[in-house]
């Protein structure tokens, strides 16, 4: 049974005339008659009572007509849904971010704006450690991720930079080094440091900075959340190397390092997704969301 046969059956039932039904279906009458006969053969019953002036539905045809209409309506609905998925107007996206980025990127506002214009897109948001996001993006369990990046290549991923900030040595306002006009690398060695765990990319970057300058630091506190780290710094429990943007509006200061004494790299925040081959999109709704982010941030 083919959809085209069902369409011709419905046309003949509604027109009660094979010639008019053939015109409606843009086919010659003999083709329409042959298609309906084939349908009747497959169903094992006659669908029409034929006479010289018009055709009428048989008892079987009366039963089959509403079912045929439901089949065609379901097909139209399916086509509409598929069209919406292709354009990104419908579908499902999984968005992931890392902890403590709320102060840097207003994701709830972006999601609110996107949902207003794309109400049929189902959105799931979750927090994940940066080290896990690369794997999840590549295997497709996450469509878009907001995570730190440091100008390095992520094989298999595309990255759109969203924010660039320099790293600083952060201290509480009453820390003994806070009032110094300049702080040397040697001043940092005896100080306790507050760090995120080694699972964080930021920790790896900080370790590399100290290693490249031949310096050792004493990690007295290791935490899993940047907000906890900053609170420890505020309370004077230690120094920390963090993106400067994170200490805005907090009772924390950036130490003034001696010129040339210790160069600190920049820290970046990016929007990442799995690279795709060919021209067809793996998830048009995710493409649409990324475009919304770019417009919102004027990228």
pLDDT at 63: 92
pLDDT at 152: 63
Per domain, the residue ranges of the chain are 3-87, 92-299
Q: For tokens 């999109």, what's the residue?
A: 281
Minimum mean pLDDT range among 11-25, 57-71, 137-151, 251-265: 137-151
The count of C-alpha atoms lying within 13 angstroms of the C-alpha of 287, restricted to the half-sphere facing its C-beta, is 14
pLDDT at 101: 62
pLDDT at 147: 81
Q: For tokens 């805005």, what's the residue?
A: 248
Please check the confidence at residue 25 and state whether its pLDDT lies above 80.
Answer: yes
pLDDT digits (tens, 9 = 90+) for 283-294: 888 888 888 888
Please check the confidence at residue 248 and state whether its pLDDT lies above 80.
Answer: yes
**Mean per-residue pLDDT, 158-184:** 91
Q: What number of residues does the chain have?
A: 299
Q: Mean pLDDT for the chain?
A: 85
Please, are residues 268 and 164 in contact by the beta-carbon 8 Å criterion? yes
pLDDT band at 78 (very low <50, low <70, confident <90, very high): confident
User: 92-299: what fold?
Assistant: D-Maltodextrin-Binding Protein; domain 2 (3.40.190)
Top pLDDT among 61 and 133 is at: 61
Its pTM stands at 0.60
pLDDT at 225: 84
CATH annotation of 3-87: 1.10.10.10
Give how far Cα 279 sits from Cα of 72, 135, 250, 276, 284, Å. Answer: 31, 23, 46, 8, 11
Rounded to whole angstroms, the Cα distance separating 134 from 172 reads: 34
pLDDT digits (tens, 9 = 90+) for 254-271: 999 988 778 888 888 888
**Mean per-residue pLDDT, 76-81:** 69
pLDDT at 240: 96
3-87 against 92-299: fold identical: no
């Amino acid at each position: 049974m083919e959809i085209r046969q069902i369409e011709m059956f419905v046309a003949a039932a509604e027109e009660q005339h094979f010639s008019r039904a053939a015109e409606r279906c843009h086919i010659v009458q003999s083709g329409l008659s042959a298609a309906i006969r084939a349908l009747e053969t497959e169903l094992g019953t006659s669908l029409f009572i034929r006479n010289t002036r018009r055709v009428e539905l048989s008892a079987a045809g009366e039963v089959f007509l509403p079912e045929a209409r439901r089949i065609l309506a379901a097909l139209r609905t399916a086509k509409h849904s598929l069209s919406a998925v292709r354009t990104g107007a419908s579908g499902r996206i999984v968005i992931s971010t890392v902890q403590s980025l709320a102060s840097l990127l207003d994701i709830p506002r972006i999601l609110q704006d996107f949902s207003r214009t794309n109400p049929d897109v189902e959105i799931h948001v979750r927090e994940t450690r940066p080290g896990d996001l690369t794997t999840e993006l590549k295997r497709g369990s996450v469509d878009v991720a907001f995570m730190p990046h440091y100008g390095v290549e992520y094989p298999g991923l595309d990255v759109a930079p969203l924010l660039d900030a320099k790293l600083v040595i952060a201290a509480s306002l009453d820390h003994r080094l806070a009032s110094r006009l300049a702080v040397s690398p040697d001043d940092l060695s005896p100080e306790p440091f507050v760090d995120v765990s080694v699972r964080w990319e930021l920790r790896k970057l900080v370790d590399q900075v100290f290693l490249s300058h031949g310096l050792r630091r004493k990690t007295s506190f290791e935490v899993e959340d940047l907000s906890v780290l900053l609170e420890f710094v505020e309370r004077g429990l230690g120094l920390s190397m963090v993106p400067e943007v994170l200490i805005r509006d907090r009772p924390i200061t950036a130490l003034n390092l001696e010129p040339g004494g210790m160069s600190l790299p920049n820290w970046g925040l990016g929007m990442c997704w799995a690279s795709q081959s060919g021209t067809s999109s793996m998830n048009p709704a995710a493409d649409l969301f990324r475009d919304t982010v770019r417009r919102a941030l004027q990228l």
